[in-house]
Amino acid sequence: MAKAKHQKTSRDLEASLAADRTKVIESLNDSREIAPRLDRYVAALLQWQATTNLIAPSTIPELWSRHIADSLQLLRLAPDATRWVDLGSGGGFPGLVIACALADKPRAVVHLVESNLKKAAFLREAVRLTGASARVHAVRIEDFVDGFNEPVEIVTARALASLDNLLDKAYPLLKRGAQALFLKGQDVEGELTAASKYWTMDTELIPSITDAGGRIVRVVSAQRLVPPPSDG
């Protein structure tokens, strides 16, 4: 009886995933190159998810719309960018998904910065399996951004920190001319108000196409008004 229930549950999950995949793949202009890469990525993610918490388990049935489409929407906002840095990549959102989409674009690279060694190991395996245009940096963001001197056009982050904190983390890249695309939830106005106490910013709020009420914050430029509190 318990075994039959387990089989039904796993069949239900497979059916949900397949329906969700179809919806997302059909929404793409041309999925011929990216679909096989994303399929390999999802297979690896589900395999590693059994031992490493890469995504919230409740989101697995809608993995394609909640995570993959959520990540892919950033490409429309920077269609010509080839140099990306994704901060706190976790299981690969949005950076690895973007790197799958850019795999055939000359000179494209997405730098994935993730300090958790197990997640970084997963990202390396996913890059190997998919052929994504990505490099994995298993370091803390704070240790990565200052010494990183390759060209950067776009900095991304999702589910990492408050806007004020994200600006602090990304600032060494923003001041070199990079723009930021931060995937945010519904309370982004509150975060903008809080950040504006410390920053003067040129920002744009773009509605998310996958997360009702969610917004993408495009930071065109930012300048800190008040120095961050010192540690000592």
Residue closest to ligand SAM (Cβ)? 90
**Is 140 assigned to a binding site?**
no
Residues 207/229, Cβ–Cβ less than 8 Å:
no
**Is 122 assigned to a binding site?**
no
Q: How far is the CB of 41 from ligand SAM (least distance, A)?
A: 13
Q: How far is the CB of 4 from ligand SAM (least distance, A)?
A: 34
Residues 66/147, Cβ–Cβ less than 8 Å:
no
Residue placing its CB nearer to ligand SAM in the complex, 139 or 196: 139
Q: How far is Cα 96 from Cα 173, in angstroms, rounded to an integer?
A: 19
From the list 56, 156, 141, the residue with the least C-alpha distance to 99 is 156
Q: How far is the CB of 135 from ligand SAM (least distance, A)?
A: 15
Measured in whole angstroms, how far is the alpha carbon of residue 161 from the centre of its chain? 13
Residues 208/216, Cβ–Cβ less than 8 Å:
yes
Residue placing its CB nearer to ligand SAM in the complex, 165 or 196: 165
Contact residues toward ligand SAM (CB under 6 A) are: 88-91, 93, 113-116, 119, 140-142, 158-160
DSSP classification of residue 230: P
Q: How far is the CB of 49 from ligand SAM (least distance, A)?
A: 12
**Is 214 assigned to a binding site?**
no
Q: How far is the CB of 67 from ligand SAM (least distance, A)?
A: 7
Residue placing its CB nearer to ligand SAM in the complex, 140 or 176: 140
State the burial class of residue 15 (Cβ atoms within 10 Å of its Cβ: 0-12, 13-18, 19+).
exposed
Residues 201/167, Cβ–Cβ less than 8 Å:
yes
CA 115 to each of CA 54, 59, 70, 108: distance values in angstroms, whole numbers, following the listed order: 13, 23, 23, 23
Q: How far is the CB of 114 from ligand SAM (least distance, A)?
A: 5
Other Cβ atoms less than 10 A from the Cβ of 28: the count is 14
**Is 93 assigned to a binding site?**
yes
Residue placing its CB nearer to ligand SAM in the complex, 115 or 221: 115
Q: How far is Cα 84 from Cα 100, in angstroms, rounded to an integer?
A: 13
**Is 107 assigned to a binding site?**
no
Tell me the binding residues for S-adenosyl-L-methionine.
88, 93, 141-142, 158
